[in-house]
Amino acid sequence: MVFSSLEFIFRFLPVFLIVYYFAPPYWRNAVLLIGSIVFYAFGEPVYVFLILGSVLMNYLLALGIGKSGKGIKKRFFLAVDIILNVGILAVFKYSAFIVENINLLGGTEFEVPQIPLPLGISFFTFQIMSYVIDVYRGTVPCDRSLIDLGTYILMFPQLIAGPIVTYTEVALDLKSRQRRISDLEEGLKPFIIGLSMKVLLANNLGTVWDSMGTAGYENISTVYAWIGAAAYTLQIYFDFAGYSMMAIGLGRMLGFSLPQNFDHPYAAVSVSDFWNRWHMTLTGWFREYLYIPMGGNRRGKIRTYANLLVVWFITGLWHGAAWNFILWGLYYFCFIAVERLFLGKLLRRLPGFIGWLYSILVAMIGWVLFAVNGMDDFMVYINRMFGGYAGDDFMEHIVSAAMLIAAGAFFASPFFERGYMRLRDGVMGLFLHLILFWASVTALVDAAYNPFLYFRF
């Protein structure tokens, strides 16, 4: 079944919000939990019991940690929790990849398991683990309400594709939040902006990138290859940042303040700066729950780079069970490492536009590696980008593609946000949001398929 969260939102959100807002305060988490289960069941009915079982398992193990005091029993419960969560993720996401590589390296012929990937498993697994680890550390209390904990984990605005929310970020809202009509207005604004980013920009930029595959990477000219890379670079930003904005808006409508996930990453002046701005909740998760516990940068240079290597290897693997994702993570490790060694200091001395050109070029090449199906396709595409291949294949699309890329570059920049923040609360802001909402809904009516790219991770 093809999952469209937009279909669910437009069909069920108005009814859900009416029930939610009229529910007594002590029933509101239960209403949100039931609505979130329905949301997940709409897209992934087969795995509803998997995610509910995961919630119950982590609830019980966290209770065990909370009651264990200090000592080996507490560490045992934490180890069991991490092993089970990582094990579930490995079975459903990586088992086929592991068997394929065993067969390749060992010359064996083990049957490759064909297990459908549960929606959002990477996101909700990391979110669950952050809660249990924080209970172990004593930074958050053990939540004894299964309904409240289930609401935190399954909250439908960010269940499928983030942002990854730690328990501390919503603990107060989870236990006590006000029922304010103003939250509907304040939530609708980022929701509409995110919707328009997805529908009006990401979907249309996606058609430009898709045309590369239709033509065949080996057949495209150098100019067209660069157009395609630029289009995908913007598509994945508006697709993922758009979903995050919609999630933040929906969360605000429900009385929650969800964390920001993007901060104009394409305005970065280094690769390190880029990753401080892109998917910030994932970057923060790896820093807080992996890099720092391994020792971070506190145990000498060699250990620091070893820790960074592990983090970026897992970052790539987290995004997908394929070698191009792993190499994509290691690709970024190389740049991060070189910047820590000397390049970062050099970039800070040079004019800002040089650092920007460097970081955007690294990002574009990285997104090509991320988007293609394998290393053979990547090498072909990079060859077309840098091989100086002539051709007029881009002429048919040059006007529409150039307009889309120019519009995308503007809306991804800080300049748009500065202007938007001046207008968002006035009459012009109301007019702007109404126009964007109308245009987005009109585009959705004509669209047969609106996949979110990060749903597959």
Contact 352, 363 (CB under 8 A): no
- Catalytic positions, written as ranges: 319
Confidence band, pLDDT 50/70/90 cuts, at residue 181: confident
The average confidence (pLDDT) of the chain is 90
pLDDT over threshold 70, residue 6: no
What is the distance of C-alpha 86 from the center of its chain? 19
Confidence band, pLDDT 50/70/90 cuts, at residue 201: very high
Mean pLDDT across 73-100: 95
Selected residue with higher pLDDT from 182 and 351: 351
Least confident window among 29-33, 65-69, 82-86, 92-96: 65-69
pLDDT over threshold 80, residue 88: yes
Please give the Cα distance from 175 to 195 (Å, whole number): 29
Model pLDDT, residue 4: 53
Selected residue with higher pLDDT from 185 and 342: 342
Model pLDDT, residue 448: 55
Confidence band, pLDDT 50/70/90 cuts, at residue 368: very high
Least confident window among 192-196, 287-291, 429-433: 429-433
Model pLDDT, residue 215: 86
Q: What is the pLDDT of residues 260-291, one digit of tens each?
A: 999 999 999 999 999 999 999 999 999 999 99
Selected residue with higher pLDDT from 213 and 310: 310
Mean pLDDT across 235-251: 94
Model pLDDT, residue 46: 86
**What are the φ and ψ backbone dihedral angles of 385, each rounded to 5 degrees?**
-70, -40
pLDDT over threshold 80, residue 199: yes
Give 42-46's long-range contacts (Cβ < 8 A, gap of 24+): 42/3, 42/8, 43/1, 43/3, 43/4, 43/5, 43/8, 43/119, 43/160, 44/1, 44/3, 44/118, 44/119, 45/1, 46/116
Give 312-319's long-range contacts (Cβ < 8 A, gap of 24+): 312/336, 314/286, 314/290, 315/282, 315/286, 317/94, 318/122, 318/282, 318/457, 319/122, 319/370, 319/457
Domain locations along the chain: 5-179, 183-456
Model pLDDT, residue 422: 84
Structure tokens belonging to residue 31: 């209403």
Confidence band, pLDDT 50/70/90 cuts, at residue 145: very high
Structure tokens belonging to residue 212: 């590369």
Please give the Cα distance from 268 to 262 (Å, whole number): 12
- pLDDT > 70: percent of the chain: 95
Model pLDDT, residue 209: 92
pLDDT over threshold 60, residue 110: yes
Please give the Cα distance from 137 to 70 (Å, whole number): 10
Model pLDDT, residue 8: 63
pLDDT over threshold 90, residue 147: yes
Structure tokens belonging to residue 85: 């969560």
Q: What is the pLDDT of residues 56-75, one digit of tens each?
A: 999 999 999 998 878 889 99
Contact 151, 40 (CB under 8 A): no
Model pLDDT, residue 164: 93
Model pLDDT, residue 418: 86
Q: What's the 3-state SS for the chain?
A: CCCCHHHHHHHHHHHHHHHHHHCCHHHHHHHHHHHHHHHHHHHCHHHHHHHHHHHHHHHHHHHHHHHCCCCHHHHHHHHHHHHHHHHHHHHHHHHHHHHHHHHHHHCCCCCCCCCCCCCCHHHHHHHHHHHHHHHHHCCCCCCCCHHHHHHHHHCHHHHCCCCCCCHHHHHHHHHCCCCCHHHHHHHHHHHHHHHHHHHHHHHHHHHHHHHHHHHCHHHCCHHHHHHHHHHHHHHHHHHHHHHHHHHHHHHHHCCCCCCCCCCCHHHCCCHHHHHCCCCHHHHHHHHHHHHCCCCCCCCCHHHHHHHHHHHHHHHHHHHCCCHHHHHHHHHHHHHHHHHHHHHHHHHHHCCHHHHHHHHHHHHHHHHHHHHCCCHHHHHHHHHHHHCCCCCCCCCCCHHHHHHHHHHHHHHCCHHHHHHHHHHCCCHHHHHHHHHHHHHHHHHHHHCCCCCCHHHHC
pLDDT over threshold 90, residue 328: yes
Report CA Rg, the chain: 23
Least confident window among 97-101, 115-119, 180-184, 444-448: 444-448
How distant, in Å, are the alpha carbons of 48, 83, 130, 165 from that of 55?
A: 11, 15, 13, 15
pLDDT over threshold 80, residue 12: no
Q: What is the pLDDT of residues 370-426, one digit of tens each?
A: 999 888 999 999 999 999 888 877 777 788 888 999 999 999 999 988 888 888 887
Model pLDDT, residue 447: 63
Confidence band, pLDDT 50/70/90 cuts, at residue 1: very low
